[in-house]
Amino acid sequence: MLFSKIEGQGFPLLILHGFLGMSDNWKTLATKYAEQGFQVHALDLRNHGKSFHSDDFNYQIMVQDVVNYCKFHHLTSVNLIGHSMGGKVVMLLATVYPELVNKLVVADIGPKFYPAHHQTILAALNAVDFSKKPSRTEAEAIVSKYISDFGTRQFLLKNLYWQEPGQLAFRFNLKVFNEKIESIGKALPFNNIFKKETLFLRGDKSDYILDSDFETILHHFPKAEIQTISNAGHWLHAENPADFFEKTIQFFQKKIIT
């Protein structure tokens, strides 16, 4: 079963993080949603955070993990937020299991194919040799040789933990990511369509959702609204959490017009 942090009472809201992320990335926003009357489930997807490791890693199987999670917790209708890779998971889930999904938010990712573009990040992570028992400071120094952006480094290094005294490790399954990186960018199958209310959010400094992608988005999600978050790149929920919260809470609290 997927690891999760559950907070609040009310209509269930599931939050799915992006590649190399975890439920902890959403802690502040999860509390805010809970305060607005949602039961928030911030999940760790397989091979991430505190969830189990597996050699199987593709969107179909990640969708099944979330569906199994909902069955286990007796959730029959949920709101979903998915960021980046998590957005790919929720898009597929909503189109395959529409009866399970009330409203859908997709953060800074589209249904199209994305070429593999995490090579530098993977190179940085693979450069950390845990057999030499590096300290946190030493691990950060190695990663900083590859990644100059402080925010990205901190996001990645949040995955460091003490596996045992004196021995650091990454929480995620780096071996499988090295092998299966191509599967992260997979497109939503052409015939997959979700006809309920959907909100796509993009960062104004991000190039993950282009104006030219709108047609494809509306093909798969005919009721989609597409909005832009200012002063934000790909990690829009972390870079402008106030606007992200405002736009999503308005969307979730709006009455559904049938």
**Which residue of the set 84, 183, 206, 237 is catalytic?**
84
3-state secondary structure the chain: CCCEEEECCCEEEEEECCCCCCHHHHHHHHHHHHHCCEEEEEECCCCCCCCCCCCCCCHHHHHHHHHHHHHHCCCCCEEEEEECHHHHHHHHHHHHCHHHEEEEEEECCCCCCCCCCCHHHHHHHHCCCHHHCCCHHHHHHHHHCCCCCHHHHHHHHCCEEEEECCEEEECCCHHHHHHHHHHHHCCCCCCCCCCCCEEEEEECCCCCCCHHHHHHHHHHCCCEEEEEECCCCCCHHHHCHHHHHHHHHHHHHCCCCC
Catalytic residue check, 73: no
Catalytic residue check, 234: yes
- Which of 129, 133, 190 shows the shortest CA–CA distance to 162? 133
Q: Quick one: tokens of 147?
A: 């990644």
Contact 208, 106 (CB under 8 A): no
- Which of 256, 224, 248 shows the shortest CA–CA distance to 102? 256
Catalytic residues: 84, 234
